[in-house]
Amino acid sequence: MNLAPNVTLHDCSPTPQSFRDAVVEGLGRPHKTIPCRFFYDARGSELFEAICRLPEYYPTRTELGILATAGPELAAAVGPGVRLVEFGCGSSRKVAAVLAHLDVRRYVPIDISKAALLGLIDDLRERFDALQIEAVCADFTAGLELPDDGDDLQTVGFYPGSTIGNFDPTHARTFLTRLRDLLGAGALLVVGVDLKKSVRIIERAYNDASGVTAAFNRNLLWRINRELDGTFEPRRFAHRAFYDEDLGRIEMHLVSEQAQEAAVGGETFAFRAAESIHTENSYKYSLDEFGELARSAGYATARVWTDADELFSIHLLRVAG
């Protein structure tokens, strides 16, 4: 892909070794796990975009609806001359809704998937040809520095999609604190947060009838086979997703349907029948719970928007002080 003059790409993508190390460490635990950030290779990103279009999966369409409705109010609260920094950008749909309202002069999308990032750039440069794009391919949950903007712009972080829910509350606070320090004094942060609601609605969103979420979950094993010479038989692992009301989170697992073994990078791992690999959490919050979490991480809540059914929320946070 030839980048346009208004586009810069900083490639700090994770190495195969870092992927291997995370997988081997996680599978070596008493309760096996693999970090959910590794879902998003090219195939994983494609499957996730398919999930976002499913009738059962309410978060994406609800968040887009809130952004469309709240766009003018968000623009008024933020003001002119914006450097927009998006964490985990994926597709262009959500940021396009923001770009339609905010006066964004410089856009910094950050994503672990280079394929998703290049697709985003290609889409946006057709619709916003004057926008300065400084893309960063990196794991934004690790140490990161933003490109120097060199302009006197209002920095606004954008963290949509309820991705904050992938962290447990303690790590979510740590991560929000890191973003606060990264964005700097006077910055704003727009965060999408999935709300607590009927268990039936939540569980349907992660157990779609067409099996796309199951394919997305299993693709993690296919990726290990492709990139790390793994010997998994993904079809021998069942997708399981359920809501834990006590912890306030959905859990996703890959459950071994029989006793079996799989090798990864020279290491062999045994699985008992019904033993699982924990692949993702997605915590849900009440408005008050997330407001308190943001406050404890050093933010003041400027505005909150929800849909009419209070399925989802968008929080405009200001770095306190």
Amino acid at 151: D
Residue 158 belongs to what H/E stretch?
strand 154-159
Spatial CB neighbours of 29, under 8 Å, sequence gap ≥ 6 = none
257: left (phi over 0), alpha (psi -120 to 50) or beta: alpha
Q: How many residues are listed for the chain in this entry? A: 321
Amino acid at 299: Y
Rounded to two decimals, the pTM is 0.92
pLDDT tens sequence across 288-319: 999 999 999 999 999 999 999 999 999 999 99
Report the DSSP beta bridge partners of residue 190: 158, 316
Over residues 203-223, mean pLDDT:
98
pLDDT tens sequence across 38-55: 998 889 989 999 999 999
pLDDT tens sequence across 99-145: 999 999 999 999 888 888 888 888 887 788 788 999 888 888 877 77
Domains and CATH numbers, the chain: 11-54+215-283 (no CATH), 55-198+285-319 (3.40.50.150)
pLDDT tens sequence across 61-107: 999 999 999 999 999 999 999 999 999 877 788 999 999 999 999 99
d(CA 245, CA 240): 16
Spatial CB neighbours of 192, under 8 Å, sequence gap ≥ 6 = 59, 63, 159, 160, 161, 162, 163, 164, 312, 313, 314
